Homo-oligomer: A and B are copies of this chain.
């Protein structure tokens, strides 16, 4: 047999046969006077063995070891290991398909939608399109979702849950609209203080606590979360950043009872 016939017989490419020679899986047969390899049935038997194991998913060097060892014990071990490996892959694929299925039920599908289910339920509460600021918020929440560990994710979602009630959503939409309006405004625009007060008014207590803890009393005490807030401000328009600056000042000044004063 020449190499093409052998390959056709077993159902592989000639490249594959030569590759197996290179790896030492299949011994080099004697050559004809023209340099062609001359195979016999024995080689087809070996090649078929290699293919069967390869089709089970064994790596080629594992196959070499198994065939070299020439006793069934190692084969069983390798197959068991392979099975465990395949089981793990199977599970990984299953999880990904599960997430994909969840994602595909979403009718408004964009790259920031691919977050944990917990965060997805929060994101659903944001206005669909139109608000630049809401879009920004979505990005931030998605970022937090991928950076945080599972525990933090749950805790964070818990903080945000009060904002998913129907009333909070309606207020949120209005607040986003007003933040959008400030995109081109000056930092000393009167609407800045108004808006900050409004936000302070309706922010859940736990969020205030967390935000205060994040930034500390002096800039030097800023935690990692505080650096985040600072970084975020850099992405905002000046007046929008000022809203948050004023907001933080308010929270620092009247940690618990600003609501009474605002009334």
Whether the Cβ atoms of A104 and B75 lie closer than 8 Å is no
Whether the Cβ atoms of A72 and B42 lie closer than 8 Å is no
Inter-chain CA distance A206–B74, complex, in Å, is 40
Q: How many copies does the complex hold?
A: 2
Stretch at the interface among A14-22, A91-99, A163-171, A253-261: A91-99
Whether the Cβ atoms of B142 and A100 lie closer than 8 Å is no
CB-CB under 8 A from A82, the residues of chain B are 100
Whether the Cβ atoms of B40 and A109 lie closer than 8 Å is no
The answer, yes or no, to whether A34 is at the interface (CB within 8 Å) is no
Chain B min CB distance to A99 (Å): 7
The answer, yes or no, to whether A126 is at the interface (CB within 8 Å) is no
Whether the Cβ atoms of A111 and B52 lie closer than 8 Å is yes
The answer, yes or no, to whether A89 is at the interface (CB within 8 Å) is yes
Stretch at the interface among A43-51, A180-188, A213-221, A241-249: A43-51
- The one of B41, B67, B115 that contacts A52, using a Cβ cutoff of 8 Å: B115
State the main secondary structure of chain A at its contact with B: helix
Chain B min CB distance to A103 (Å): 6
Whether the Cβ atoms of B45 and A140 lie closer than 8 Å is yes
Total contacting residues, chain A, CB less than 8 A: 57
Stretch at the interface among A154-162, A191-199, A231-239: A231-239
- The one of B45, B48, B104 that contacts A80, using a Cβ cutoff of 8 Å: B104
Inter-chain CA distance A23–B55, complex, in Å, is 33
Find residues 52-102 in chain A having any chain B CB closer than 8 Å to their own CB: 52-53, 55-57, 66-67, 72, 75-76, 79-80, 82-83, 86-87, 89-90, 93-94, 96-97, 99-101
**Interchain Cβ contacts under 8 Å between A and B, 5 examples:** A11-B147, A41-B235, A44-B147, A49-B112, A56-B96
Please list the residues of chain A having a beta carbon within 8 angstroms of any beta carbon in chain B: 1, 9-11, 40-42, 44-45, 48-49, 51-53, 55-57, 66-67, 72, 75-76, 79-80, 82-83, 86-87, 89-90, 93-94, 96-97, 99-101, 103-104, 108-112, 114-115, 139-140, 142-143, 146-147, 228, 231-232, 234-235
